[in-house]
Amino acid sequence: MDIVVNEELKAYIEPLTQDEHDALERSILAEGCRDALVLWGNVLVDGHNRYGICTRHGLPFKTVQNPRFQSMEDVHLWMIDQHLGRRSLSDFQRGVLALRKREIVAERRTRITPPPEATPTDSTVDSAPAPAPAVEALQTREALAKAARVSSNQMVMIEKISKQAAPELVAAVRTGAISLNAAAAVATLPVEEQTAAAAAGVDELKQAAKRVREAKRKPTASGPAPDASEATAMEAAEPALDSLRQRVAALEAENAALRQELVALRTMAAAATSGDDSPF
């Protein structure tokens, strides 16, 4: 079989470092290629480094087909799950893989879920594609964090970096040059400032993160102002507070009227009792 190397699949997962690749090569030269390469048809899915090493040195290797693959999405999800278990990946790398998995699953669910008003017919049922293997939805941040084996706070930072960070900043956190916390702080700056800080080196990135944190902690002359979310929540709660105040006032008036009625009833009862005792 002529094995096809798909460059997109080869680059889909974070590549090995040079040290990791050298260690793998030494292991294969000493013990042979113990793990089979995973194929989808004749397309290589898993084992690109092993395939390259064995081909270069003329060493034999085994292959295995994965019958669960029905689409490139299935291949991507399988690759993500395989690499999420790798101990050599950093927290950021695992978080990025979990986010990538969530995007694939969400897109698939949107595509295959019919509208609520749609009624399946015989023709649509017959032409429907085979069901894809069930996967976790990862709809909550807690589920994402669990899949990536990080904390929820770390997942928040990873998501912020993935959405807002300049490529140079992403490269710095991917290599471990700066921490997740520092990268998330720098990611709040304009892209031009992120790029300039990254170009100046790791020390400047750390200083930029420090300046961002200090700016957030610095109080104003009239005290710290609530952020936008807090102000919005306060504004939304104001009508409810007014309604509660009006309700309390109405209940108090109702209680006062009931007390007056009770006094009147007691007076009438006392008068009736007095009339019964009259000798006339």
Per-residue pLDDT tens for 56-74? 999 999 999 999 999 999 9
User: Rounded to whole angstroms, how far apart are CA atoms 107 and 230?
Assistant: 32
8: tokens are 């997109």
201: tokens are 């080196």
Tally of residues, the chain: 280
138: tokens are 């990862």
- Which amino acid, residue 93? Q
User: Rounded to whole angstroms, how far apart are CA atoms 50 and 66?
Assistant: 18
Task: Look at residue 39 and give its three-state secondary structure.
Answer: strand
- The residue ranges of every structural domain in the chain are 1-67, 69-113+134-151, 165-219
Strands 63-65 and 43-46: unpaired
Beta strands in 7-119 (DSSP E): 37-40, 43-46, 63-65
Q: Determine the CATH number of domain 1-67.
A: 3.90.1530
List pLDDT tens digits, range 174-232.
888 999 999 999 999 999 999 999 999 999 999 999 999 999 887 654 555 555 444 44
Average pLDDT of the chain, as a whole number: 82
User: Rounded to whole angstroms, how far apart are CA atoms 133 and 71?
Assistant: 11
Report residue 228 CA to chain centroid gap. Answer: 22
User: Rounded to whole angstroms, how far apart are CA atoms 78 and 92?
Assistant: 19
What does pTM read for this prediction? 0.65
40, 65 Cβ separation under 8 angstroms: yes
Nearest CA to 31 out of 55, 50, 12, 13 is that of 50
